[in-house]
Structure 1
Amino acid sequence: MSTTRVGPCYTCCLEGWPLSRTQRNHDISLRDLDAAARGSACTTCSLIRDAVVTFAPVVDAEFRNSGLASSKPELKAVKIACHDFIQVSLRYELLAGEVRQILVPLDIFLDVETIKTVPVPPVGAPARLISRDLPSRLNVSWAANLARTWIRQCDECHPLCRAPSNPHLPTRILDLGIPGVDETVKLKVSGDEHGQYIALSYRWGTVAEGGSTLLTTTTSIADRLKGIPWHDIPQTFRDVIELSRELGIRYLWIDSLCIVQDDEEDWNKEAARMAEVYGNSFLTVAATSAPNNNASLFTERWTQFKIPGSPDTITPRLASKRIIRAASSTETEPDVLVSPAGFVRYGMHMAHAQFMEGDNAQQHAVDSPLLTRAWSFQERLLPHRTLHFHAEEMVWECKMDMRCECGRMDRNPRGFPPSLGKASGLILTTLPSRIWLKSSMNWAMLHPELRPDLAWVWLDLVSEYLQLDLTYETDRLPALSGLAARFAHPELGTYLAGLWEATLPEGLLFQVVPLEGAHCRIRPAEPSPARHPGPADAPTWAWSSIPLGRGTVVSFSDILAVCEIDGQNWARSKHFRLVDSRVDLSTANRFGWTTGAYLTVCGLLGDCSELIGSLVTRPETSK
Structure 2
Amino acid sequence: MIFSNVSSSLVEALLSKNDDLSFVYRLQGSSERKDARKKTGRRIPEAVLSVWLESKEQSLMPMIKLSIVAQNCVFPSHVESTYTGSRETLKLAASWIKQCNDSHKKCLHLKPANMCLPTRLIDVGTADGKVMPHLWIPEKTTVAIPYMTLSYRWGMSPKVLLTRTSLPELCKQIPVDLLPQSNQDAIHITRSLGIRYLWIDALCIIQDREEDFHLELAKMRNIYKNSYCTISASQGETGERGCFSNRQPLQADFGSISSRIEQTSSPKKLSGKHIQGYENESASRKVGTMNQRPAKMLKRHNVSDTGRESGGTKTGFQFTDVSKLDSSWKIPPTSVQMARNSQFQNIDFQLQEAQRQMEVAGGLSKSNITIRTLQKDLWSSEVDASPLSRRAWTLQERLLSSRILHFTRSQLFWECQTAKACEAWPQPVVKNIVDKRGADEMTEFDHGKTNSSALSGSALVPIKEHWDEIVELYTDGALTKPEDKLVAMSGLATEALEDTEDTYHAGLWRNDFARSLLWYLITPQHSACTAYRAPTWSWASVDGKVAYLARRPDPEFPVSELATIEKVQTLGVDGERNPTGQIKYGLCRISGPLRQSVRYEKHGNIHRLILSEELSNHQLYADFFPDVDIENEPSDLICLPMLYHQETRADSENKGLQSFMSGLVVRPSGEFLDEYRRVGVFRIPEESGRAWFEEEVVIKEISIV
TM-score by length of 2: 0.58
1:471 to 1:582, Cα distance in 2 relative to 1, 3 A: closer
| Residue 592 (structure 1) aligned with residue 542 (structure 2) | no
Conservation of the 8 A alpha-carbon contact between 1:581 and 1:598: yes
Conservation of the 8 A alpha-carbon contact between 1:75 and 1:93: yes
Q: Give 2:467's aligned residue.
A: 458
Counterpart among 410, 420, 429 of residue 392 in structure 1: 410
Q: Give 1:103's aligned residue.
A: 63
Alpha-carbon separation, structure 2, partners of 1:541 and 1:487: 21
Shift of 1:218: 3.4
1:75-119 Cα offsets, whole Å, 9 max, x none, are 1224779999979767353636667847367797xxxxxxxxxxx
CA RMSD of aligned residues (A): 4.7
Conservation of the 8 A alpha-carbon contact between 2:421 and 2:455: no
Shift of 1:503: 2.6
Conservation of the 8 A alpha-carbon contact between 2:4 and 2:292: no
| Residue 142 (structure 1) aligned with residue 114 (structure 2) | no
| Residue 554 (structure 1) aligned with residue 546 (structure 2) | yes
1:553-608 Cα offsets, whole Å, 9 max, x none, are 3222x211776xx93222345x735445342435643211222123345x443434
| Residue 282 (structure 1) aligned with residue 273 (structure 2) | no
The structure whose residues are more often helix, as a share, is 1
Alpha-carbon separation, structure 1, partners of 2:121 and 2:431: 38
Shift of 1:380: 0.9
| Residue 301 (structure 1) aligned with residue 310 (structure 2) | no
Shift of 1:511: 1.3
Shift of 1:294: 2.0
- The one-letter code of the counterpart of 1:465 is Y
Counterpart among 481, 485, 497 of residue 472 in structure 1: 481
Question: Equivalences for 1:442-521 in 2 at 5 Å?
Answer: 454=464, 456-489=465-498, 491-514=500-523
Q: Give 1:246's aligned residue.
A: 192
Shift of 1:514: 1.8
Conservation of the 8 A alpha-carbon contact between 2:291 and 2:375: no
Alpha-carbon separation, structure 2, partners of 1:244 and 1:560: 42
Counterpart among 90, 93, 113 of residue 53 in structure 2: 93
| Residue 199 (structure 1) aligned with residue 149 (structure 2) | yes
Counterpart among 421, 425, 429 of residue 403 in structure 1: 421
Counterpart among 92, 100, 112 of residue 165 in structure 1: 112
Shift of 1:254: 0.8
Alpha-carbon separation, structure 1, partners of 2:204 and 2:539: 31
| Residue 571 (structure 1) aligned with residue 560 (structure 2) | yes
Conservation of the 8 A alpha-carbon contact between 1:512 and 1:554: yes
Shift of 1:479: 1.0
Shift of 1:201: 0.7
| Residue 370 (structure 1) aligned with residue 379 (structure 2) | no
Conservation of the 8 A alpha-carbon contact between 1:305 and 1:313: no
Conservation of the 8 A alpha-carbon contact between 1:387 and 1:397: yes
- The one-letter code of the counterpart of 1:466 is T
Shift of 1:370: 0.7
The structure whose residues are more often strand, as a share, is 2
Shift of 1:191: 3.6
Conservation of the 8 A alpha-carbon contact between 2:159 and 2:178: no
Conservation of the 8 A alpha-carbon contact between 2:508 and 2:516: yes
Shift of 1:527: 11
Shift of 1:374: 0.9
1:198 to 1:79, Cα distance in 2 relative to 1, 3 A: farther
Q: Give 1:538's aligned residue.
A: 534
Conservation of the 8 A alpha-carbon contact between 2:207 and 2:213: yes
Q: Give 2:678's aligned residue.
A: none
1:383-404 Cα offsets, whole Å, 9 max, x none, are 1111111222221111222222
Shift of 1:59: 8.0
Conservation of the 8 A alpha-carbon contact between 1:395 and 1:405: yes
Shift of 1:153: 2.2
Conservation of the 8 A alpha-carbon contact between 1:323 and 1:338: no
Shift of 1:142: 1.9
Q: Give 1:31's aligned residue.
A: none
- The one-letter code of the counterpart of 1:537 is R
1:87 to 1:252, Cα distance in 2 relative to 1, 3 A: farther
Alpha-carbon separation, structure 1, partners of 2:292 and 2:102: 45
Task: Give ranges in structure 2 of 5+ residues lacking alignment.
Answer: 37-43, 251-288, 309-342, 353-363, 439-452, 608-622, 626-648, 656-705
Alpha-carbon separation, structure 2, partners of 1:463 and 1:489: 22
Task: Give ranges in structure 1 of 5+ residues lacking alignment.
Answer: 1-54, 109-123, 331-336, 420-430, 442-453, 516-523
Conservation of the 8 A alpha-carbon contact between 2:378 and 2:455: no
Alpha-carbon separation, structure 1, partners of 2:487 and 2:47: 43
Alpha-carbon separation, structure 2, partners of 1:598 and 1:347: 51
1:259-281 Cα offsets, whole Å, 9 max, x none, are 12232222222222210110110
Conservation of the 8 A alpha-carbon contact between 1:395 and 1:403: yes
Alpha-carbon separation, structure 2, partners of 1:470 and 1:620: 35
1:201-221 Cα offsets, whole Å, 9 max, x none, are 1122237xxxx5432233333
**Secondary structure in 2 aligned to 1:353?**
helix
Alpha-carbon separation, structure 2, partners of 1:261 and 1:134: 42
**Secondary structure in 2 aligned to 1:138?**
coil
1:148-180 Cα offsets, whole Å, 9 max, x none, are 222222223322223141423211111112444
- The one-letter code of the counterpart of 2:600 is I
- The one-letter code of the counterpart of 1:226 is K
Percent of aligned pairs with the same amino acid: 25
Larger Rg: 2
Q: Give 1:261's aligned residue.
A: 207
- The one-letter code of the counterpart of 1:342 is I
Shift of 1:482: 0.9
Q: Give 1:33's aligned residue.
A: none
**Secondary structure in 2 aligned to 1:540?**
coil
Shift of 1:545: 1.4
1:313 to 1:56, Cα distance in 2 relative to 1, 3 A: closer
Alpha-carbon separation, structure 1, partners of 2:560 and 2:532: 34
Counterpart among 600, 608, 624 of residue 612 in structure 1: 600
Q: Give 2:125's aligned residue.
A: 177
1:472 to 1:553, Cα distance in 2 relative to 1, 3 A: same
Q: Give 1:437's aligned residue.
A: 459
Alpha-carbon separation, structure 2, partners of 1:243 and 1:326: 40
- The one-letter code of the counterpart of 1:352 is W
- The one-letter code of the counterpart of 1:457 is H
Alpha-carbon separation, structure 2, partners of 1:341 and 1:287: 35
Shift of 1:295: 2.3
- The one-letter code of the counterpart of 2:547 is S
Shift of 1:249: 0.7
1:127-158 Cα offsets, whole Å, 9 max, x none, are 49989464222234223322222222222332
Shift of 1:67: 9.1
Question: Equivalences for 1:66-85 in 2 at 5 Å?
Answer: 71=18, 72-78=20-26
Alpha-carbon separation, structure 2, partners of 1:327 and 1:512: 56
Alpha-carbon separation, structure 1, partners of 2:13 and 2:499: 62
Alpha-carbon separation, structure 2, partners of 1:476 and 1:142: 40
Alpha-carbon separation, structure 2, partners of 1:184 and 1:611: 70
